[in-house]
C-alpha cells in the first residue's frame, strides 16, 4: 500500500473549500477504481524525454517529483513513467480522490506486479502549503483555473523547483472555451449546480431542450465529459472555473523566473499550426505566446495546451497588446421607455430597448464572440496583420469543426471563422449582470413590470432578469438580441 494520507495545512479560502467539496462528491477522473493505467509507460511524461526538450545534457538520476492536484489517477501514471524516481509526492484537496488513488496503487501492485513504478507519498491539502522542496519535476494538470490566485500558485511552485527542475503545466484555453463557458452560464441560470442529484441526466435534459444546431448543444454532445456524472460536473457545473488569458499566463510564468521550452499538446493546437494555416502570418508573429494567443482568440485551441517550463528568462517575451475599450453601438426603437428619468435607464438607453411589453437585450454569448474578434483584431493589427484575412484563410484551409470519429459530423458555428466578421462586429457589448439587476428593479418600481414567468417556456417563476437573459440567449441565435417578454409584476 502507499504511505498513509498525510494532511497539510487546513484550507483558508472559501473557493478552495467549494472545490474540495465538489471532488469529495465526484472524484476525478470519472473512471472505476478498478481502472489501471496501461502497462506501457507514457513516454511523454518521462523526465528523460522532457530533459532533452529543455536541452539538458544530463538530468537527476533519481528525481523527486511532485504531482500537484493529482486527482485519483495521474500520480500513478507518472510513477509508472518515471520508475527511477526517488519519490513521487501526490497532493490533492479531496480525500475521496486520494483514497481512490491509494486503492489503485494497491490494486496495480497485485494485478500488474511486474510493472515498475516509483514510490508514492500521498498527501491531502492546499498546494500553497507545500514547503518541502526542492523538486526536480512538478506536474500541474488542469488545476490553475480552479484556484483563487493562479499567479500566486505558479510563483509558489516555481520556488519549489531545483536549479534544473522542470514544470509540466496543462491549462484550459480561456477564449477557445467560449461555448463551454456559455453552457456553464446557461446551466447556472437554470439553477443547476455541482451538488444536484444525477447531474448527467439533468444537464443532458437541459441541453436536449436547445435547438439541434445550437452551438452550445453541439459543443456538449461531442464532449467526452458529457458521458458521466463526474465529467459533467467537472466540465459544466464546476464550483470554480476561471481560465487565465494566455497573455496573462505568459506574464505569470515570466515573473516566476520560468520560460517555455516545449509544447506537447495536439499538433493542431500548437503555435506551429499558425504557420501551417498561413506562413505569412506566422512569419510576422514573433513568438510562441503570440501565435497561441491568435489561435485561442480564433477559438481554435481545441486541445488544452501542455507546456514544459524550465528556469531562466524567455528568449521571446509575449507581446503586450493593450485591451481595447468597450465596443460602441446602440439599439433604438419607437416606444422605448428607458429615456424616462432614472440613472440606470439613462445608462442603458443605447444598449437595451424597453417597451411596456418586452425588452431587447444584447445577446451575452454573441457579445463574447464579438469580444474575441475584437481582441484577435487587436493582436494581429499590432503586427500589421488583418483579422478578416486570417479568418478567411482559416475558413478555407481548416473549415468548420468536426466531431471525432466514428461520427465525424460537421459542427457549424463553433469556430470564429464560421461567422462573417462584419456581422460579429455589429453585435453590442453585453449588459453587466449588476446593471440587469438594477434595470429589473427600476422597471418594477417605475413601470410595475418584470420578466414574465415561463418566457419561451423556461424562465420560470422567480428567476431574475439576469438569469432569464442567459436562458433565452442560449435558446436563440447568438447573432440576435435577446427578447424578454414583460408583464405586470403582480403576475410573477
Q: What is the CATH number of the domain that holds 35?
A: 3.40.50.150
pLDDT at 455: 47
Pair 417, 432 in one domain: no
- DSSP state letters, 363-394: -HHHHHHHHHHHHHHHHHHHTT--HHHHHHHH
Distance CA 187, CA 193 (A): 8
Do 459 and 452 touch, CB atoms closer than 8 A?
yes
Domain residues for 408? 246-320+369-421
Residue 38 lies in a domain: yes
pLDDT at 490: 57
Distance CA 144, CA 192 (A): 24
Beta bridge partners of 123: 6, 91
Residue 334 lies in a domain: no
pTM of this structure: 0.92
Q: How many domains does the chain have?
A: 4
Q: Identify the CA nearest to 456 among candidates 113, 186, 65, 231.
A: 186
Q: Identify the CA nearest to 294 among candidates 271, 317, 316.
A: 271
Domain boundary among 170, 197, 228: 170
Q: Identify the CA nearest to 391 among candidates 415, 360, 427.
A: 415
99-103: Cβ within 8 A, 24+ apart: 99/5, 100/27, 100/33, 100/72, 101/2, 101/70, 101/71, 101/72, 101/73, 101/75, 101/76, 102/1, 102/2, 102/5, 103/33
Task: Write down how long the chain is.
Answer: 492
Pair 481, 375 in one domain: no
Pair 301, 416 in one domain: yes
Pair 152, 31 in one domain: yes
Do 417 and 392 touch, CB atoms closer than 8 A?
yes
| CA torsion angle 208 211 213 214 (round to 10) | -80
Pair 252, 146 in one domain: no
Residue 70 lies in a domain: yes
φ, ψ of residue 449 in degrees (nearest 5): -125, 160
Pair 163, 17 in one domain: yes
Domain boundary among 210, 236, 262: 236
Residue 335 lies in a domain: no
Residue 64 lies in a domain: yes
Pair 286, 417 in one domain: yes
Pair 232, 353 in one domain: no
pLDDT at 28: 95
- Helix/strand/coil percentages in the chain, nearest 5: 45, 15, 40
Domain boundary among 236, 258, 289: 236
Pair 191, 231 in one domain: yes
Which residues have C-beta within 8 Å of that of residue 274, sequence separation ≥ 6? 281, 282, 285, 291, 294, 295
Pair 316, 398 in one domain: yes
Pair 98, 140 in one domain: yes
Residue 326 lies in a domain: no
Here the cell at position 23 is 471532488
Parts of the chain with a pLDDT under 50: 1, 339, 341, 455-460, 491-492
Q: Identify the CA nearest to 135 among candidates 104, 109, 156, 107.
A: 156
Distances (CA, A) of 170 to 180, 304, 450, 487: 18, 7, 44, 48
Residue 90 lies in a domain: yes
Residue 459 lies in a domain: yes
Pair 50, 151 in one domain: yes
Amino acid at each position: 500500500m502507499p504511505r498513509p494520507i498525510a494532511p497539510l495545512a487546513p484550507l483558508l479560502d472559501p473557493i478552495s473549500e467549494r472545490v474540495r467539496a465538489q471532488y469529495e462528491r465526484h472524484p476525478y477522473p470519472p473512471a472505476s477504481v478498478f481502472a489501471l493505467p496501461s502497462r506501457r509507460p507514457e513516454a511523454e511524461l518521462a523526465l528523460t524525454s522532457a530533459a532533452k526538450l529543455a536541452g539538458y545534457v544530463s538530468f537527476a538520476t533519481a528525481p523527486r517529483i511532485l504531482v500537484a492536484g493529482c486527482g485519483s489517477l495521474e500520480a500513478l501514471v507518472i510513477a509508472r513513467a518515471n520508475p527511477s524516481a526517488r519519490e513521487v509526492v501526490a497532493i490533492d484537496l479531496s480525500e475521496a480522490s486520494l483514497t481512490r488513488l491509494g486503492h489503485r496503487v494497491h490494486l496495480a501492485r497485485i494485478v500488474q506486479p511486474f510493472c515498475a513504478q516509483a514510490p508514492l507519498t500521498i498527501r491531502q491539502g492546499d498546494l500553497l502549503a507545500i514547503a518541502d522542496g526542492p523538486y526536480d519535476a512538478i506536474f500541474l494538470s488542469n488545476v490553475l483555473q480552479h484556484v483563487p490566485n493562479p499567479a500566486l500558485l505558479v510563483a509558489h511552485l516555481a520556488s519549489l523547483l531545483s536549479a534544473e527542475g522542470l514544470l509540466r503545466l496543462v491549462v484550459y484555453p480561456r477564449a477557445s472555451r467560449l461555448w463551454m463557458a456559455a453552457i456553464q452560464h446557461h446551466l447556472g441560470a437554470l439553477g443547476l449546480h455541482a451538488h444536484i442529484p444525477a447531474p448527467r441526466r439533468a444537464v443532458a435534459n437541459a441541453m436536449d431542450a436547445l435547438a439541434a444546431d445550437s452551438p452550445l448543444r453541439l459543443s456538449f454532445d461531442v464532449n467526452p465529459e458529457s458521458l458521466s456524472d463526474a465529467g459533467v460536473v467537472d466540465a459544466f457545473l464546476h464550483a470554480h472555473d476561471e481560465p487565465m488569458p494566455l497573455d496573462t499566463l505568459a506574464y505569470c510564468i515570466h515573473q516566476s523566473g520560468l520560460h517555455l521550452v516545449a509544447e506537447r499538446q495536439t499538433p493542431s493546437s500548437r503555435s506551429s499550426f499558425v504557420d501551417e494555416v498561413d506562413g505569412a502570418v506566422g512569419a510576422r508573429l514573433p513568438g510562441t505566446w503570440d501565435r497561441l494567443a491568435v489561435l485561442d482568440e480564433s477559438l481554435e485551441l481545441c486541445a488544452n495546451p501542455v507546456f514544459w517550463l524550465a528556469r531562466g528568462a524567455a528568449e521571446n517575451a509575449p507581446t503586450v497588446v493593450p485591451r481595447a475599450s468597450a465596443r460602441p453601438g446602440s439599439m433604438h426603437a419607437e416606444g422605448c421607455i428607458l429615456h424616462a428619468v432614472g440613472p440606470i435607464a439613462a445608462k442603458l438607453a443605447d444598449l437595451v430597448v424597453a417597451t411596456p411589453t418586452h425588452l431587447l437585450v444584447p445577446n451575452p454569448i454573441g457579445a463574447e464572440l464579438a469580444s474575441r474578434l475584437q481582441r484577435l483584431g487587436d493582436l494581429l493589427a499590432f503586427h500589421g496583420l488583418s483579422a478578416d484575412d486570417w479568418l478567411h484563410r482559416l475558413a478555407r484551409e481548416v473549415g468548420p469543426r468536426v466531431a471525432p470519429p466514428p461520427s465525424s459530423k460537421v459542427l457549424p458555428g463553433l469556430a470564429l471563422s464560421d461567422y462573417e466578421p462584419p456581422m460579429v462586429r455589429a453585435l453590442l457589448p453585453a449588459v453587466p449582470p449588476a446593471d440587469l439587476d438594477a434595470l429589473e428593479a427600476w422597471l418594477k418600481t417605475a413601470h410595475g413590470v418584470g420578466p414574465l414567468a415561463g418566457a419561451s417556456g423556461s424562465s420560470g417563476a422567480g428567476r431574475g432578469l439576469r438569469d432569464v437573459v442567459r436562458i433565452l440567449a442560449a435558446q436563440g441565435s447568438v447573432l440576435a438580441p435577446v427578447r424578454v417578454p414583460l408583464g405586470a409584476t403582480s403576475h410573477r
